[in-house]
A and B are shown apart, each in its own frame.
Chain A
Amino acid sequence: MSGRFDDLRVGDEIPALARTVTREDVRAYADASGDQNPLHQDDDVARMVGFDGIIAHGMFTMGHLGACVAGWAGDPRNIERLSAQFRAPVFMGEQIVAGGRIRSVDATNRTVVAELWVTVTRDGNEEFAIRKGEAEVRFPDPADAS
């Protein structure tokens, strides 16, 4: 990873990360996070509020985005800030794709700010499940490594 920060440029893309959302994973996420809202577990409840079936937690989708960013950052400890705007629901069986692009590079502090998103393709159209997300990542100087 030595010298990696010096190679980063504004406009560079963060490698995209895809996954398919399953009922089992959303169920496991409810237990891991403690968010037991039935909207994410019970199709009848989801239909009552106008969805065709259960939707993933927004934080499930952001968790996937976090893994995408952490993979790029090399270590989750390098992430100093992570944000997201939830824009569209994600249904079971759909594929979500997380990605991002470098918006600014601060050479003095060895930090990078990246814009982030998560897309989902539905009925042939690409929609944003998350958009206007942002990460601030610090790339430690390998010379400072203890």
Chain B
Amino acid sequence: MRRVNPAVEGKTYDPVAFEVTEDRVRAFQHLFGGPPGVPPTFLTAAEFTVFPQVIGDPELGLDFTKVVHGTQEYVFHRPLRVGETLMVQPRIASIRQKGGNGFLVIETQMRSIDGEAAAVARSTMIERESAR
């Protein structure tokens, strides 16, 4: 059986530039409403610019057809600004096996072009032993 490879824990991937465009922010605002500003879960769009690198990493060996989203966290070091470019860099923070399931934590750093920390996203992906 294919299992996520625990030796990949700690691996960092190349950063990718992500622009906080007005159009994209507006799409989130339009969908979810709330007060003006960048919606708090907007950074999921930034995560999805780098997830293909991680999910498709042959060294990681993740079977994405068995993956469900377990938990999500965003920590903001400062407010996000419409029009800014963030450098988005994921890292495999931890890999654990528990009760036949694999728990993969992807920690994604978001920084300004000049390196200033803006936010961190943490996603736990659960690779289930069998489909539901």
Least Cβ–Cβ distance between A116 and chain B, in angstroms: 11
Q: Are A34 and B73 in contact (CB under 8 A)?
A: no
A16 located at the interface, meaning its Cβ lies under 8 Å from any Cβ of chain B in the complex? no
Instruction: Determine whether the beta carbon of A83 is less than 8 Å from that of B32.
Output: no
CB within 8 Å for A66 and B73 given contacts A28-B31, A34-B49, A49-B65: no
Q: In the assembled complex, which residues on chain A have CB atoms less than 8 Å from the CB atom of B33?
A: 67, 71
Q: Is the C-beta of B10 less than 8 angstroms from some C-beta in chain A?
A: no
Count of chain A residues with a beta carbon within 8 Å of a chain B beta carbon: 37
Per-position 1/0 for A105-128, Cβ under 8 A of B: 000000000000000000000000
Interface: B113 (CB within 8 A): no
Main secondary structure of the interface of B (DSSP, over half): mixed
User: Can you name the residue of chain B whose Cβ is closest to the Cβ of A36?
Assistant: B48
What chain B residues lie within 8 Å of A70 (beta carbons)? Answer: 34-35, 37, 39-40
Which of B74-82, B89-97, B99-107 lines the interface with chain A? B74-82
Can you name the residue of chain A whose Cβ is closest to the Cβ of B29?
A: A67
* Distance in Å: Cβ of B50 to nearest Cβ of chain A: 10
Contact with B along A8-41 (1 / 0, CB 8 A): 0000000000000000010011011111000000
A58 lies within 8 A of chain B by Cβ: yes
Number of A-B contacts (CB under 8 A): 103
Chain B minimum-CB-distance residue to A84: B72
In the complex, what residues of A have CB within 8 A of residue B11's CB? none
Complex contact B131–A66 (CB within 8 A) = no
On whether the beta carbons of B45 and A66 are closer than 8 Å, the reply is no
| Beta-carbon contacts under 8 Å, B45-68 to A | 45, 48-49, 65, 68
30 A-B contacts (beta carbon < 8 Å): A28-B27, A28-B30, A29-B31, A32-B24, A32-B28, A34-B49, A35-B44, A35-B48, A50-B132, A58-B68, A59-B69, A63-B41, A66-B32, A66-B39, A66-B41, A67-B34, A70-B35, A70-B39, A71-B33, A73-B35, A75-B35, A75-B36, A76-B34, A77-B37, A77-B38, A81-B76, A82-B41, A83-B71, A84-B71, A86-B69
